[in-house]
């Protein structure tokens, strides 16, 4: 089976390279990581995929989306479409289908951008919520835990956490948080998640800066080094009018670490390991 997967991966890479030409890039031959630049009108998106050994026969590729215009529930809506494509085509090569679905989504968003003005992000969030599959409404929203607020020079940072196992649950949690007007009107709602889909050993992970450049990526890196799984962490920031410089990243990650610890996602072994290293 492994040899068959490798053969099918090679065929897919060759096909993608032929179809997308200079928009297709090999990021790492060793790790089988590739990326595709997707451009539609004024919108750009980078899809990066890594092919695990059991793809496409038994599991999906691991992917990350990079697009500054893709935020909040809008991102979750697109991720939901990609998940649906995989579930409808288990065992098949799906990267081409993912690229074209992303392209279709970008065309749709471009049309919306031409029609709407004012608070575009809020409008898209509401539209995304209305378009959700009604089956999600039948599934209870995961319990959301909120941590203590960290304050510095009139800026306030508050973490929120939920245990998640799917993109649908992530959408539910974000929608529930945005129902709180104080959270919805915050300057930034930065988040990162990692989860292992049912029946798969691959980690689905991604993050959102929400205007605080690089903050989401730093939070995702924190989850990775802690090996935290099946978790969504959101850090809400209310800007107080005074620039904090690099301290803002420290507060965001400290808030995330605080709630991961209080909810049991940081093992005592990790803490003991850090203490022993300090003592040497």
Give 278's pLDDT tier (boundaries 50, 70, 90). Answer: very low
Give the residue-averaged pLDDT of 43-47.
Answer: 91
Number of helices (H), then strands (E), belonging to the chain: the values are: 9, 10
b vs e for 137-164, b when ≥16 Cβ sit within 10 Å of the residue's Cβ? eeeeebebeebeebeeeebbbbbbbbbb
pLDDT recorded at residue 43? 87
CATH code assigned at 152: 3.30.230.30
pLDDT recorded at residue 250? 94
pLDDT recorded at residue 251? 95
pLDDT recorded at residue 116? 55
**Domain shared by 196 and 254, yes or no:** yes
- 133 contact partners, CB below 8 Å, separation of at least 6: 80, 168
- 245 contact partners, CB below 8 Å, separation of at least 6: none
**Domain shared by 257 and 158, yes or no:** yes
Rounded CA separation 24/30 (Å): 17
- Tell me the H-state helices in 50-150: 72-88, 95-115, 120-131
Q: Identify the domain containing residue 79 by its residue range.
A: 1-116+124-131
> Is the pLDDT score of 191 beyond 50?
yes
- Are 146 and 45 within 8 A, CB to CB? no
The DSSP element (H or E) to which 48 belongs, if any, is: strand 43-50
- Are 47 and 27 within 8 A, CB to CB? no
- Are 170 and 193 within 8 A, CB to CB? yes
Token pair of 202, please?
Answer: 């691959």
Give the residue-averaged pLDDT of 216-225.
Answer: 92
> Is the pLDDT score of 71 beyond 60?
yes
**Domain shared by 142 and 280, yes or no:** yes
Give 279's pLDDT tier (boundaries 50, 70, 90). Answer: very low
**Domain shared by 198 and 279, yes or no:** yes
**Domain shared by 39 and 178, yes or no:** no
CATH code assigned at 21: 3.10.110.10
Residue 250 backbone phi and psi in degrees, to 5: -60, -45
pTM for this entry: 0.57
Instruction: Give the end of a domain, one of 74, 100, 131.
Output: 131
**Domain shared by 152 and 206, yes or no:** yes
> Is the pLDDT score of 271 beyond 60?
no
Instruction: Give the end of a domain, one of 106, 131, 156.
Output: 131
Token pair of 74, please?
Answer: 């809008």
**Domain shared by 228 and 261, yes or no:** yes
- Are 164 and 231 within 8 A, CB to CB? yes
- 232 contact partners, CB below 8 Å, separation of at least 6: 161, 162, 164, 169, 170, 173, 191, 192, 193, 195
Give the residue-averaged pLDDT of 149-157.
Answer: 93
**Domain shared by 234 and 280, yes or no:** yes
Stronger pLDDT, 113 or 159, i.e. the higher one = 159
- Are 123 and 130 within 8 A, CB to CB? no
3 state DSSP class of 162: strand
- Are 208 and 191 within 8 A, CB to CB? yes
Rounded CA separation 249/270 (Å): 22
Domain count for the chain, please give it.
2
pLDDT recorded at residue 238? 92
Residues forming beta bridges with residue 221, ordered by sequence position: none
DSSP state for residue 149 in the 8-state scheme: P
Residues forming beta bridges with residue 160, ordered by sequence position: 146, 234
- Are 169 and 138 within 8 A, CB to CB? no
pLDDT recorded at residue 115? 59
């Amino acid at each position: 089976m492994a040899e068959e997967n490798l053969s099918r991966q090679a065929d897919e890479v060759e096909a993608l390279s032929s179809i997308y030409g200079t928009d297709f890039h090999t990021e790492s031959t060793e790790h089988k990581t590739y990326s595709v630049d997707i451009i539609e009108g004024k919108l750009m998106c980078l899809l990066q995929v890594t092919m695990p050994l059991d793809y496409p026969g038994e599991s999906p590729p691991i992917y990350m989306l990079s697009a500054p215009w893709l935020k909040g529930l809008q991102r979750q809506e697109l991720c939901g479409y990609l998940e649906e494509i995989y579930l409808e085509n288990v065992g098949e090569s799906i990267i081409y289908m993912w690229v074209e679905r992303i392209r279709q989504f970008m065309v749709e968003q471009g049309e919306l951008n031409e029609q709407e003005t004012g608070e575009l992000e809020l409008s898209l969030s509401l539209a995304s919520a209305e378009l959700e599959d009604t089956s999600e409404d039948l599934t209870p929203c995961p319990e959301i835990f909120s941590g203590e607020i960290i304050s510095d020079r009139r800026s306030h940072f508050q973490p929120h956490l939920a245990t998640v196992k799917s993109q649908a649950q992530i959408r539910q949690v974000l929608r529930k948080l945005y129902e709180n007007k104080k959270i919805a009107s915050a300057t930034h709602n930065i988040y990162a998640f990692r989860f292992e889909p049912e029946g798969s050993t691959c980690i689905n992970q991604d993050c959102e800066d929400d205007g605080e450049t690089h903050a989401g990526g730093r939070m995702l890196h924190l989850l990775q080094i802690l090996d935290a799984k099946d978790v969504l962490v959101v850090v809400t920031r209310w800007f107080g009018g005074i620039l904090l410089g690099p301290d803002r990243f420290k507060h965001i990650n400290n808030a995330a670490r605080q709630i991961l610890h209080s909810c049991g996602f940081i093992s005592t072994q990790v803490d003991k390991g850090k203490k022993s290293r300090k003592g040497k």
